[in-house]
Amino acid sequence: MESPDDARIEADGSTLVDVHWWVGGAIGLAAVSLVVTAHMVSVARDALTWVSLGTLIAVALESILIRLERLLRYRWAAVLALSGLALIFGTVLLTVVFPVATREAGKFDTDVPRLVERLDDLPVIGGRLVDADVPARLERWVQGLPANLGVDDAPLQGLFRSVLDGVTALLATVLVSIAVMLDGNRLRRGVLRIISVRRRDDVVRAFDILYRTVGRYFAGSILVALSAGVAILIVGLLAGVPLAPVAAVWVTMTNLIPQIGGFLGGSLFIVLGATQGPTTLLICLGWFLAYQQFENNVLQPMIVGDAVDLSPPTTMIAALVGASAFGVPGALIAVPLLGAGKAILIELGLVSVGASSDGAAAKSGPLRRAWGRKPNRARR
């Protein structure tokens, strides 16, 4: 076999390749750029999180936006209408939830000691909690809370700063969402401008897969999580479960974690219910198990369906890695990105796979899928 001009075979049989010094320079430059980029990403982590979350929300709302755009003719009118609807929904939610939340927060200092008193009566784990000094620690923390807030201003300043940070993050995320919704088509055209004509259709297909997978998974997961939170809040308030809003928020947050989210969220709700006696415990347990069945077999397949075609361990590892890197937004984005990556590789023929066992189900309607097949994200 003939060797290329810049390679020669030595006497001992080994091949010596002559690499131009520019190659080394380019690799060095790439390494330095990588370090600088990593530094910039670590410094601008908050901003990048807001940008990612805002972009995700915009992608998730794209299908509604396209329909509104057809109705109202102009994209800006569709964005304005959608933003107005979101504002009205947010205001109504705040008006309904905020009084309940402040009332529950007012009961916080009476609810927690009552809860602490009942912790040692809990079946199975009560004794262990007492051994670990959990009730006494909780009581000390609650007793110290009013004094800390009243005399020492530091916790209050921290709270004020947290609220301010939260408002900034919310405003930035909403702004990015609106900006991406307004700019979506132009950004898409802009990216296509720098792609060669030969590759353009592949990129368009990849875009479509990405936006379908991410949008559907993200919007669906948020809807399912909110639904779980509302279900827990209603039953918690009706059954007199202490700190029901806290449990509802916890269930909503953990619902976004695949496979173990349901167990994580439900365990707090059930433990809180157990402090009110065996009847409340049974109500909480029964409701939670029934709701999980409904969510896993009806709601989840109907709303999220097979947006991502990944195995349970893959979704779980992806979500955990995403959460540890970027918190809740990371957990949300990791799974659909991985799913979209897989779908793009398959679509472009870069990897080959066998016939999907879910192929027939995927072609059927959502209700038939809901009853006719095991959910893809069998999570809980």
Partner 1 sequence: MVSTLSFAAVIAAAWTLGQSTRVLGWAAAAMLVAAMLYPLVERLARSVKRGVAMLVVFLMTMVIVAGVIWAGVGDLRVGLSRLRTTAPDAAQRIEDGSSWVGQAARDFGLRDRTVGFLDDLPARLASGGGSGTEAVRSTATRGIATLITMVLSIFLVAHGPRLVRGLLRQVDERRRAEMSIVLHRAYQVAWQYLILMLAKSLVVGVVGYGIGSSLDLPATSILALILGATSVIPAVGVATGGLLIVLLAWGLQGGTTGIVAAAAVTSLQVLDCVAMERFVYTRTLRIGPAATLFATLVGVSLYGFGGAAVGLAVVVAVLAALRENYPSVAEQPSAVQRTPLP
The CB-of-165 to partner 1 minimum distance in angstroms stands at: 13
Which one, 162 or 267, has the nearer CB to partner 1?
Answer: 162
Rounded Cα–Cα distance for residues 320 and 260 (Å): 10
Cα torsion 58, 61, 66, 68: sign = negative
Rounded Cα–Cα distance for residues 244 and 119 (Å): 16
The CB-of-10 to partner 1 minimum distance in angstroms stands at: 18
What's the farthest any 2 CA atoms get from each other in the chain? 87
Which one, 28 or 313, has the nearer CB to partner 1?
Answer: 28
The CB-of-270 to partner 1 minimum distance in angstroms stands at: 31
Q: 69 to each of 190, 224, 289, 364, how far by Cα in Å?
A: 21, 26, 41, 28
Which one, 98 or 371, has the nearer CB to partner 1?
Answer: 98
**Going by C-beta distance under 8 Å and a sequence separation of 6 or more, which residues neighbour residue 269?**
232, 236, 241, 247, 250, 251, 284, 288
The footprint of partner 1 (CB under 8 A) covers 24, 28, 31-32, 35-36, 39-40, 43-48, 50-51, 62-63, 66-67, 76, 98-99, 102-103, 106, 153, 156, 171-172, 175-176, 178-180, 182-183, 186-187, 189-190, 192-194, 197, 200-201, 204-205, 208, 212, 215-216
The CB-of-263 to partner 1 minimum distance in angstroms stands at: 31
CB of 225 closer than 8 Å to CB of 250 = no
Which one, 177 or 292, has the nearer CB to partner 1?
Answer: 177
**Going by C-beta distance under 8 Å and a sequence separation of 6 or more, which residues neighbour residue 176?**
50, 51, 53, 54, 55, 58
The CB-of-292 to partner 1 minimum distance in angstroms stands at: 26
β partners of residue 8:
16
176: left (phi over 0), alpha (psi -120 to 50) or beta: alpha
The CB-of-349 to partner 1 minimum distance in angstroms stands at: 15
Which one, 45 or 128, has the nearer CB to partner 1?
Answer: 45
Which one, 50 or 326, has the nearer CB to partner 1?
Answer: 50
